[in-house]
Amino acid sequence: MADPSKPLHMSASLGDLASTNFYLALDPRSAEEVDSCSRTAFYFAAAEGHKDIIKVLLEKNEDACLKANEDGRTSFHLAAMRRPVEVMKELLEKNKDACLKADEGGRTPLHLVAMRGQVEVMKELIN
């Protein structure tokens, strides 16, 4: 899933906190870099549900969670499709508005959460 030419993306995808911190110390702006499909390291951390990596990357760049890939999906979309409630709650705390953004197919993370039957997260998004 990760672009191997981006070491931070790979470490975020694998949940390797030590490597993530190492790469961010070398170049804090690497949190903003995108791979060939317009995905940030944050996108991979959210997709894989690595809460500790999510927190570190958000400390470096809170706007990283808003960046969309080439299909218009943000890390919120990926987390809504694949991850537990705790990861979505972590993302919601940072930027609830991003959960209302639609991808190119018109689906918001709320749609995806509803499809998974995550009522607890749906309530958080609607309130």
Average pLDDT over residues 2-6: 62
Q: Specify the pTM.
A: 0.72
105 burial via Cβ count (<10 Å: 0-12, 13-18, 19+): exposed
Residues ≥6 apart with Cβ < 8 Å to 117? none
Token pair belonging to 59: 């400390």
Report CA Rg, the chain: 14
- Give the integer Cα–Cα distance in Å for 65 and 57: 9
65-122: per-residue pLDDT in tens? 667 777 888 777 777 776 666 777 777 777 777 767 888 889 888 888 888 887 877 7
- Give the integer Cα–Cα distance in Å for 70 and 80: 18
- Give the integer Cα–Cα distance in Å for 75 and 103: 11
Alpha helices in 5-118 (DSSP H): 7-14, 17-26, 41-48, 51-60, 75-82, 85-94, 109-116
36-63: per-residue pLDDT in tens? 887 888 888 888 888 889 889 888 877 7
Please give the domain boundaries of the chain with CATH numbers for all domains. Answer: 7-126 (1.25.40.20)
